A = this chain, B = another copy of it.
Amino acid sequence: MQTVSVTLGERSYPIHIGTGLLGEARLYAPYVEGKRVAVVTNRLVAPLYLDRMQQALAQAGAQSVSVLIEDGEQAKGWKTLDLVIDALLAARLGRDALIVALGGGVVGDLAGFAAAVYQRGIPFIQVPTTLLAQVDSSVGGKTAINHARGKNMVGAFHQPLAVVADVATLDSLPDRELRAGIAEVIKHAFILDLQFVVWLEANIDRLLARDRAALAHAVLRSCELKAQVVAADERESGMRAILNFGHTFGHAIEAGLGYGEWLHGEAVAAGMIMAAELSARTGPLRREDVERVRALTARAGLPVRGPKLPPERYLELMQVDKKAAGGKVRFILLEALGHAVLRADVDPHLIRQSIAAATQ
């Protein structure tokens, strides 16, 4: 087991990464002993891991109930949030109860937001079971639900007490979701760490073959990179926005097609190509580096072209993206591989060109 710390003063917490951690009671005991816990999970994850999770919690001295939600991005809305809140109230959980989010990004975002607002906030623990959740969404305290007008439009910053990332749970992950998780791994490399880009270029096939040592390293390095950014700018008043590389375009893809059509990681993958194209057009990213972004993304089995929507439709969808500060869309661009910057004053003509260069 390896542990990464997210350093946020009294809100600091550990991310434990390793094989078989899900069932280790000692990882939960410091937080849950003598408490009541609601495990929020979905109908796909529950048959695989819920029993082991609840056994570990019982061993850790907690009394737990479970709340099952539907699988998929379309479950991440008001209706499911109310279902979870209703279940917590029906179980008469008080302010001293905890939530455990057991599942992928949807479960983590929604259960984390439920924890943020239930009785004005109760603590929670993330037990991510998808690669995307392990390397990205479970770390950093961003919780949210979607709104018909935009993704993650309603949410809160609410840090977990701990993250327990068991790479053995990735065995049960469909290939498509594994690849979607790799999109966020390579994103972290592109924006922050050239050496990690080089490692990924050498090890992408091991990741796709689910080599546990390779997966553990990828999760660890991703979490280290993300933890650094979050520690420096918890509430995204500045540099944390670089984590949204590929996401401004990616959210437009998701919103344009209706959530759930493409996986988040797939939309981000195509979005990264658009952002790299834009980075080359605005300078100083070199054309050969755009090709390295494209090549690694393609080798990961991810889309390198967005869906065929007119560039104007992309622009329109990006206007309501929540990163549009005061109506102005900000872009995260690469100056070089491993170095991202934030730019607000981008020529719309270059944006249209970049979209056109990476759509079907």
Contacts and interface: CB of A to CB of B under 8 A. Distances in A.
Interface in A302-348: 319-320, 322, 324-327
Contacts of A92: 319-320, 324, 327
A69 to B, nearest CB: 16
Interface string A95-129: 11100000000000000010011111100000000
B326 A94 contact: yes
A75 B98 CA distance: 29
B327 A116 contact: no
Interface residues of A, number: 41
A144 to B, nearest CB: 7
A85 interface: yes
B149 A120 contact: no
Contacts of A144: 120
B96 A325 contact: yes
Interface stretch (A154-162, A179-187, A289-297): A154-162
A150 interface: yes
Contacts of A150: 89
Interface string A79-91: 0001001100110
Contact of A118 (B97, B120, B153, B320): B153
B78 A82 contact: yes
Contact of A120 (B90, B121, B148, B156): B156
Contacts of A89: 147, 149-150, 153, 320
A322 to B, nearest CB: 4
A339 B106 CA distance: 47
B86 A149 contact: yes
B155 A120 contact: yes
Interface in A127-154: 142-144, 147-150, 152-154
Given A147-B86, A320-B89, A324-B94, A117 B117 contact: yes
A248 to B, nearest CB: 13
Q: Which 4 pairs of residues, A with B, have the shortest CB-CB distance? A: A89-B149, A119-B322, A120-B155, A96-B326
